[in-house]
Amino acid sequence: MRFLNSYKADATADLVYRVCPLHLLEPVELIKDLKPGQVLEILPDYDGALEDIPAWCAKHGREFVGIGEDDDADCCRLYIKKLH
């Protein structure tokens, strides 16, 4: 897993306080609106997302760019690039 200090995203999915499986369902809808090459930032506070999101990317032809931490929040930042 690649750790990022900072990364620019084109859209953000704030999934803090969302329960499983919303951490997968909501990003699917948001990434449909992105153009190839654009990046979606996902803000989950669900620990399972750290495994689920990269696995989802591999299965559905998306690039999992990496993960960043937010020192001011109780969540991490996951970055997905739309490839096609």
Give 16-40 pLDDT, tens digit per residue: 888 777 777 888 889 999 999 999 9
Domain harbouring 44, CATH code: 3.30.110.40
Residue span of the structural domain in which 49 resides: 11-82
Domains: count for the chain? 1
Cβ atoms of 76 and 25 closer than 8 Å: no
| Closest among 14, 27, 36, 74 to 55, alpha carbons compared | 27
Residue 75 forms part of a structural domain: yes
DSSP readout, 45-67? Answer: --TTHHHHHHHHHHHHTEEEEEE
Residue 56 forms part of a structural domain: yes
Residue 71 forms part of a structural domain: yes
Give 46-80 pLDDT, tens digit per residue: 888 889 999 999 999 999 999 987 666 678 899 99
Residue 32 forms part of a structural domain: yes
Residue 1 forms part of a structural domain: no
From residue 51, how far is each of 1, 2, 78, 80, 84 by CA, in Å?
10, 13, 11, 13, 23
Residue 60 forms part of a structural domain: yes
Give this prediction's pTM: 0.86
